[in-house]
Structure formats: structure tokens, C-alpha cells
Amino acid sequence: MLALGKLLEMTLADHEPAAKIQLTHEGARLRWLTEGALEVTPPADADSGLDLLLSAGIHGNETAPIELLDRLLHDIARGDLKPRARLLFLFGNPEAMRRGERYVEQDINRLFNGRHEQTSGTEALRAGELERLAANFFAKPERTRLHYDLHTAIRGSKIEQFALYPWAEGRRHSALELARLHAAGIEAVLLQSKASITFSAYTYASLGAEAFTLELGKARPFGHNQAVNLDLLEARLRALIDGSEPATEPSPLDGLQLFAVAREVIKRSDAFQLHLPKDIENFSELPQGYLLAEDIAGTRWVVDEQDARIIFPNPKVQNGLRAAIIIVPADAERLG
């Protein structure tokens, strides 16, 4: 196997390879760009026209997606998976990965779309570097741009595998892309309706890619992800990479649950209280009239939405960031 296929091993060892470019027997080029970043270019006569960015490890303790990308890279480097798409593999937060922590100083996935310029530290610098890597990768004109940012969640979930679909002015969410996600095992999609500061929101809004944050089960240490079944997603990614993906129709969305953001609960101060059990699962239902959270100056969040559910409840976030999202069912009329 080509040495550059061991990107995860190099990243965890904080090792820079001596050879920055290697070729497979079939002529695909692997190019090491910087720590945790590898570009794969197919032979010119095999190029499908797809630019596919696959990122994981934005949160360093979310290991199942990291292991998935590692498997794909190993097979490309061995010649067992023959790419027809241009690929960029990114391990987002190498130092957090080495420590087995979600982040070191601050959450990288809240530092995109200019937010990193308002702060300092290694993770702010890394967010800026990830933006530059993505922008350079997606700079070629007249190509299909697709970004999957792969995560696992802090807590359990009533819907284990789900996606967040970013928003941008003047764009509609694609039914075709949702059908592709559904075929990859995604059970639900949250259709966002305002600008965000996550990595997928950056590539969607600023670089014109179709982009998604995929939540793929619960965060576990390396080597302990046997309970996370990513077979459907892995099969779909392999098909995207080698050009064997079957034709996808936008219509078969039966069974895919769609949700919209009703409100974000923003933590304003250290006095913030979230009135939920510590072990509550994502997509748990919230009764109308429920006092969800309280903060300074009498700020209260009371559930007034019908069929409301909660995702990403986390009272430990930094002040000024969201501590939970209230979501409600959505329908396919929002799609393009």
C-alpha cells in the first residue's frame, strides 16, 4: 500500500511524510497537502467530473467517521478502490484526535464563515486553514461539488443517523441530494433556514457545494465502533468515488423524515439552566408549555410549538453559542 494512504496513522503520530506525491498503479495521484489533508486526483481519462470533499475529526473524539475515511483511503492506496472523482480527505482537528477530545480550546465547528477571524488560538487557525483547503479544492469551474462532513453525536439519538442541510440565500434544498442521503442510510434531515458557522455551512454558502453535516451514531473511542453500522453510507461513498453510483431519482423519499428549525436556544451567561435530563436523546419530543431553559434577566424558553423535538442539548457550550435546537416536522414543499 502507498504510504500516503496511511493518512490517519501519520496524523495521529504527528508525522509529515517525506514523499508528498505518490501514484497508484492505475495512475491516480495522492498528494499530501498539510497535516490531516490528502488530495486524490484520478487519471484524466477516468475523471467523472465530481469533486468530493470528505471530512471527519472536526471533533477529535468522533472516531467512527475517521475510521471510515481511513478504510476508503487504504483501499485507494492499495488499488482496490479506483477513483474516478477528485477527492479531498480532511481530518479536521488533528490535535484533538490525538488527545481523544472533542476539541482542545474551542469548538472548530463554530469557527467558520469568518468566525475564526474574531478569535485566536490553534483551532481558529485550523478553521481558517480548512476554509482555504476547501476553497482551493472547489476552485475548478464546471464541476459537481459535494461535501460530506462526518460526525457522531455526544449523546444517544432516537434517530441514529441524520443530516443537517445548510441554508444559503437564493438556493433551495435539493430533493435529489436528499434521495442520495436516504439511499446511504440517513433516516432524517434537518433543513436549516438561516446562515450558520459550521464547516458544511461554509462550503455550501461560500463555495457553492452541496454540503451536509452527517451525524452517524454516538461518539466512541477508536476501535470501539462495532455498534455503529455505516455499511450503507460506506457503499454509497465507494460508488461516488469509483463512479458506479446507480442513478438516483429525487422521488423516493418515503421514510425519510424532514425537520425544520423552530428556534435555537442560545446560552447568554453562566446562569443558564437547561431543564432536561442529562441523558435525554436527540429527537426526544417536548410537550407544549414545557419550560425548557432559563437564563439571566428572566429569559425563559417555553415550548409553544406543536410536535416539537430537541436536538443537540448541551448546557456546557460557551456563552453566546447555541445550547439546544427546537425542531418541528417539515414537508417536501421546501425542496427544489
- CATH number for the domain harbouring residue 288: 2.40.50.630
Which of 282, 267, 279 is CA-nearest to residue 315? 267
Residues contacting residue 244 through CB under 8 Å, at least 6 positions apart: 238
Across 21-25, 124-128, 330-334, least confident range: 330-334
**211 and 293 share a domain?**
no
Total residues found in the chain within this entry: 336
- Domain boundary (209, 242, 275) is at 242
Catalytic residues: 215
**139 and 279 share a domain?**
no
**198 and 286 share a domain?**
no
Residue written as cell 465547528? 109
Q: What is the mean pLDDT of residues 225-232?
A: 81
Q: What is the mean pLDDT of residues 238-266?
A: 88
Q: Tell me if 261 is assigned to some domain.
A: no
1 burial (CB, 10 Å; 0-12 / 13-18 / 19+) is middle
d(CA 161, CA 154): 13
Predicted confidence at residue 161, as pLDDT, reads 95
d(CA 64, CA 59): 11
The binding site comprises 59, 62, 151
Other Cβ atoms less than 10 A from the Cβ of 335: the count is 18
pLDDT in tens, 258-292: 999 999 999 999 999 999 999 999 999 999 999 99
Q: Tell me if 293 is assigned to some domain.
A: yes
| DSSP state letter for 12 | H
d(CA 50, CA 234): 17
The binding site for Zn(2+) comprises 59, 62, 151
In this structure, are residues 199 and 109 in contact, taking their beta carbons and an 8 Å threshold?
Answer: yes
Q: For residue 289, what are the domain limits?
A: 267-327
**274 and 314 share a domain?**
yes
Look up the pTM and report it: 0.94
d(CA 334, CA 325): 19
Q: Is 333's pLDDT higher than 80?
A: no
**161 and 237 share a domain?**
yes
How much of the chain, in percent, has pLDDT values that exceed 90? Answer: 87
